[in-house]
Amino acid sequence: MLDFNEIKTTGLQVQYYKVCQRKLWLHTHQISFEHESDRVLEGKILHEQSYNHKKSKEVMIENLIKIDLYDEKYVGEVKSSSKMQEADKAQLLYYLYVLKQYGIERTGRLHYPKEKKIEEIELTAVDEVGLEEVLQGIRQVVAANKPPKAVKLPYCGKCAYYHFCWVGEAE
């Protein structure tokens, strides 16, 4: 089992690890293009406009995770699309894992407002083992001296890092 105090991983790092390890390395080393991305801006606007009736929005814990929605039963994460559902689920499971370290147990909910879809997520012992493997993987990726090689993925064209990774490459 990992020492929780040594993790120092953000929820976004967990998501990036699942989506693209190169993006994880670049973002962690302050090479960021999100501020230039229309898709990132669209997601921020959707997040701000969704679930305004909720009492607890954007709860920051230990400067590591920012929970979108929080109440006495659920922890929620708002996403603009379910296309990255595996990464979204890993991020939410990590939030549940961190909360559990503080003695707080909740059920997770992935919210996809544009799709009018909500998926409930429970943290299991198997999930915890998988998360600990992900956290070890994240540590290895970010400790490397240079980013992993670019790997062409189906969603690269919509990524904020697309031009950085693929400029000059033949399509």
Q: What is the pLDDT of residue 171?
A: 47
Q: What is the pLDDT of residue 37?
A: 46
Q: What is the pLDDT of residue 124?
A: 98
Which residues, given as ranges, of the chain have pLDDT below 70?
Answer: 1-2, 4, 33-57, 168-171
Q: What is the pLDDT of residue 34?
A: 58
What are the structure tokens assigned to 169, written together? 């490459």
The shares of helix, strand and coil residues in the chain, as percent rounded to the nearest 5, are: 50, 15, 35
Nearest to 94 by CA among 7, 6, 3, 1: 7
Tokens 């790092």 — which residue? Answer: 13
Instruction: List, in sequence order, every residue forming a beta bridge with 162; answer none if it has no partner.
Output: none
Virtual torsion, Cα 13, 17, 22, 24, nearest 10 deg: 0
Query: Contact, 77 vs 46, CB < 8 A?
Result: no
Query: Contact, 86 vs 93, CB < 8 A?
Result: no
DSSP 154: T
pTM: 0.84
Would you list the domain boundaries of the chain? Answer: 4-160
**Is 4-160 CATH 3.90.320.10?**
yes
Nearest to 67 by CA among 101, 114, 106: 106
